[in-house]
Amino acid sequence: EPEVTQTPSHQVTQMGQEVILRCVPISNHLYFYWYRQILGQKVEFLVSFYNNEISEKSEIFDDQFSVERPDGSNFTLKIRSTKLEDSAMYFCALGTQRVYNEQFFGPGTRLTVL
């Protein structure tokens, strides 16, 4: 099972501030995903990323969100101007192959917007 860490584990920010959430895979992966889980609710897909570009994004992933792999290793999710409703747990997930693509999730970053 691939290993992945996420930093920070908890982020508290003021509404309107920018936040960057980081996903650090331990080994090489090709397929990256971000999901979020609002407290007590189901896990929702945000975006998938392959070969240094977005493959698919959901209706949640609006212009406030962006993703990139700035150094070929870390995979980041940026929220430009946070809103109260962005408070959630954000999970990075990794896949190693296109077919039979189990997605292994990181431990998550809990984002709290005040």
Partner 1 sequence: AQKVTQAQTEISVVEKEDVTLDCVYETRDTTYYLFWYKQPPSGELVFLIRRNSFDEQNEISGRYSWNFQKSTSSFNFTITASQVVDSAVYFCALRSDRGSTLGRLYFGRGTQLTVWP
Q: Which of 89, 112, 93 is nearest to 101 (CA)?
A: 93
Residues of this chain, 65-104, that bind partner 1 according to CB under 8 A: 89, 91, 93, 95, 98, 100-104
Stretch that binds partner 1, among 13-21, 48-56, 65-73, 77-85 (CB under 8 A): 48-56
Least distance from partner 1 to the Cβ atom of residue 94, Å: 11
Q: How far is the CB of 97 from partner 1 (least distance, A)?
A: 10
Residue 112, strand partner residues: 12
Rounded Cα gap, residues 21 and 48, in angstroms: 15
3-state helix, strand, coil in the chain (%, to 5): 5, 50, 45
Task: Pick the binder of partner 1 from 11, 25, 33, 87 (CB under 8 A).
Answer: 33
